[in-house]
Structure 1
Amino acid sequence: MSCRGPEDLSQPTAPKFVESIATTLRAQSDSTDVEAAVLRAVARQSDSIALPDVLELRSLLDVDSEQADTLEERVTTVINTIDAELAGWDRQEVLA
């Protein structure tokens, strides 16, 4: 796991970030993998999430975003799950 920088996905910029991802997903086919698209966007935004981190996150994510009513809610659910997982990584690194 790489050390995560100070960025926080739940900061006030998140609504614009969520809308940007949702807009991108709408432009693609209905079969687009929401989790993968969100992970790509998060990795692009972050200076401290490396490819191995993205691959590990992908294998760890267990998101039931299908229950969300809107695409924005699905994207937000995935972002919140990623943020929670990364916070757990930060705690593990502090304890190590």
Structure 2
Amino acid sequence: MSCRRSEDLSQPTIPRFVESIATTVRGQPDSADVQAVVLRAVARRSDSIALPDVLELRSLLDVDGEQAVTLEQQIMSIISAIEAELAGWDRLDVAA
């Protein structure tokens, strides 16, 4: 894990961020991988998430997108899972 601190993804700009990701997903084929699009967007927005972190997050995320009613809810579920995972990484770094 090269990520040393989690990014605060719960900033007031989150609705615009979610809508931006939703627009990106809607512009792709129906087979678009929403989780991958969200991870790419979060990594681009973050100063501390490197490619190895994205790959590790991808393998660790357990999000049931089928329960989300809207694409925006699905995106928020993925972002919440990313935040939770990064918070766990921060706790591990502090304990080390």
Structure 1 length normalisation: TM-score?
A: 0.95
Amino acid at match of 2:72: E
- Structure 1 runs of 4+ aligned residues shifted over 3 Å read none
The match for 1:33 is 33
- In the alignment, structure 2 segments of 5+ residues that lack a partner are none
Which SS does the other structure have where 1:49 is aligned?
coil
Give distance in 2, aligned partners of 1:51 and 1:4.
15
Q: Percent identity?
A: 74
Q: Which structure carries more relative contact order (alpha carbon 8 Å, separation 6+)? A: 2
The match for 1:11 is 11
Give distance in 1, aligned partners of 2:8 and 2:48.
12
Amino acid at match of 1:50: A
Distance apart, 1:56 and its partner CA? 0.3
Deviations 1:33-73 (A, max 9, x none): 11100000000000100000000000001100111010000
Measured on the aligned residues, the alpha-carbon RMSD in Å equals: 0.9
Matches within 5 A, 1:81-96: 81-96=81-96
Structure 2 length normalisation: TM-score?
A: 0.95
Which SS does the other structure have where 1:57 is aligned?
helix
The match for 1:50 is 50
